[in-house]
Amino acid sequence: MDAPRQAPAAAPKKVRTPKEPQDEIMRHTVQAKTPGLDKPHPPSPDAHTVNVPSMLTADDLAYSGKRQRSARVAPAAQQAAGECDDPPAPPPRRNSRGSLTGGTTSIQARVMAAAAAVVPPVLGAGATQQREQLLPVAAGQGVEMKVDGHRAAVTLSKNGLSWSYESTRCCCIPSVHSESVPFTEMLSAEVLPPLAGMWRLPGTRLHRLVVWTFRRMAHSPAAWQPRQLTLECPSEATLQDWLQRINAAVAQQHRRPRRLLVFVNPFGGARRGKKIWDTVVRPVFDKAGIKCTAVETQHGGHARALLTSMPSDELAGYDGVVAIGGDGLFHEVINGLLELRSVPTGTTLDQQQWAALQQHLEQTAAADAAAAAAAGAADAQAGQAGGMQPPTGGQQQGGGPLVRGSSFGLPTVPQHQRRRGGPQRAGSIAASMRVGHIPAGSTDAVACTLNGTRSAFTAAMHIALGDACPLDVLRVDEADGRHAFATCMLSYGFMGDVMVESENYRWLGPLRYDVIGAKMLAANRSYHVRVSYLPAQSEQLEAAGKVCTAGCDLCRLGQEHVRLQRTFREVSSRSLAHRRSEWVHVEGDFAGIMLVIMPCRSEKSQQGVARYGHRSDGLIHLVMVKKCSRLQYLRFLLTLSHSGLAAGEHGFFTVVPAVAVHVEPVGAKQSRWNADGELLASNHITAEVHRGVIEVFARGVEV
Q: Residue 568, SS3?
A: helix
The residue extents of the domains of the chain are 22-90+102-120, 143-251, 468-703
Q: Of 495, 501, 518, which is closest to residue 443 (Cα–Cα)?
A: 495
The size of the chain, in residues, is 703
**pLDDT of the residue at 442:** 84
Q: Which amino acid appears at position 425 of this protein?
A: R
Angle at 250 between CA 249 and CA 253, to 5 degrees: 100
The answer to whether the beta carbons of residues 329 and 336 sit under 8 Å apart is no
Residues 581/398, Cβ–Cβ less than 8 Å: yes
3-state secondary structure of 275: helix
- What residues contact 413, with CB distance under 8 A and at least 6 apart? 339, 340, 342, 343, 354, 423, 426
Number of H helices, E strands in the chain: 19, 24
Per-residue confidence (pLDDT) for residue 11, from 0 to 100: 52
Question: Which 8-state DSSP code applies to residue 278?
Answer: I
Q: Which long-range contacts (CB under 8 A, 24 or more apart) does 646-654 make?
A: 646/545, 646/611, 646/612, 647/544, 647/612, 647/621, 652/625, 652/626, 652/628, 653/623, 653/624, 653/625, 653/626, 653/628, 654/623, 654/624
Q: Exposure string (b/e) for 214-253, b if CB count within 10 Å is 16 or more?
A: beeeeeeebbbebbebebbbbbeebbeebbeebbebbeee
Whether 395 contacts 373, CB under 8 Å: no
Identity of the amino acid at 437: H
- List, in sequence order, every residue forming a beta bridge with 678; answer none if it has no partner: 675
The dihedrals phi and psi of 340, each to the nearest 5 degrees, come to -70, -30
Question: pLDDT tens digits for 131-142?
Answer: 333 333 343 457
CA 108 from centroid of its chain's CA atoms: 49
Task: Categorise residue 274: left if φ over 0, alpha if ψ from -120 to 50, beta otherwise.
Answer: alpha
Q: Going along 538-671, which residue ranges are E strands? A: 584-596, 620-626, 648-650, 653-665
Q: Give the span between the Cα atoms of 361 and 70, in whole angstroms.
A: 92
Phi, psi of 278 (to 5 degrees): -75, -40
Rounded Cα distance between 277 and 287, Å, is 14
CATH code of domain 468-703: 2.60.200.40
d(CA 357, CA 342) in angstroms, rounded, equals 13
| Residues 103/89, Cβ–Cβ less than 8 Å | yes
Among residues 320, 290, 281, the alpha carbon closest in space to that of 457 is found at 281
The per-residue pLDDT for 593 is: 96
Spans of the chain, pLDDT less than 70: 1-141, 168-174, 196-204, 343-424, 543-544, 558-579
Confidence (pTM): 0.69
Q: What is the pLDDT at residue 539?
A: 74
CATH 3.40.190.10 is held by the domain 143-251: no
Q: How far apart are CA 697 and CA 439, in angstroms?
A: 13
CA distance 211 to 287: 10
* Run of H or E residues at 102: none
d(CA 68, CA 58): 14
Cα gap 353→373, rounded to integer Å: 30
> What is the pLDDT, as a whole number, of residue 390?
37
Q: What is the pLDDT of residues 165-218, one digit of tens each?
A: 877 665 666 678 889 999 999 999 999 988 765 444 555 678 999 999 999 998
- CA 288, CA 187: separation in Å to the nearest integer? 5
Residue 196: predicted pLDDT: 64
